[in-house]
């Protein structure tokens, strides 16, 4: 049970997720920032609560596709996750599609 359900059994190696910057707590207001979000994802995953995420997706990002401006949720619903660029930019949203 502890081998297959490590998270539930509290047997995970918490050292895998850590902050790479010393001042992450001071910068925490930038975790979901459109300008600094990717940097925070790469350098401050623990502080930002992003340890379970394997890729960064800018939640405020909007893209113009065929003349229509959409966010990742809208693109996923319309089937655009099949395109490599969209699946990279909307990596978290496109996982379910």
Question: Rounded to whole angstroms, how far apart are CA atoms 2 and 11?
Answer: 7
CB 1 within 8 A of CB 9: yes
Instruction: Decide if 33 is inside a domain.
Output: yes
Question: Tell me, what's the pLDDT at 1?
Answer: 46
The pLDDT tens digits of the residues spanning 39-82 come to 999 999 999 999 999 999 988 889 998 899 999 999 999 999 99
Write out the residue range of the structural domain in which residue 32 sits. Answer: 14-43
Q: Which residues of 45-62 are buried (b: 16+ CB within 10 A; e: fewer)?
A: bebbebeeeeebbbeeee
Instruction: Decide if 50 is inside a domain.
Output: no
- What is the number of domains present in the chain? 2
Confidence band for 10, pLDDT divided at 50, 70 and 90: low
State yes or no: pLDDT of 12 exceeds 70.
no
pTM for the predicted model, two decimal places: 0.67
Question: Tell me, what's the pLDDT at 68?
Answer: 93
């Amino acid at each position: 049970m502890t081998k297959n359900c490590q998270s539930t059994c509290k047997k995970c190696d918490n050292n895998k997720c850590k902050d790479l910057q010393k001042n992450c707590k001071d910068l925490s207001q930038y975790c979901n920032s459109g300008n600094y979000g990717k940097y925070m994802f790469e350098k401050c995953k623990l502080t930002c609560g992003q340890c379970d995420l394997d890729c960064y997706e800018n939640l405020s990002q909007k893209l113009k596709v065929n003349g229509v401006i959409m966010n990742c949720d809208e693109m996923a619903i319309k089937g655009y996750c099949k395109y490599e660029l969209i699946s990279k930019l909307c990596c978290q949203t496109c996982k379910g599609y």
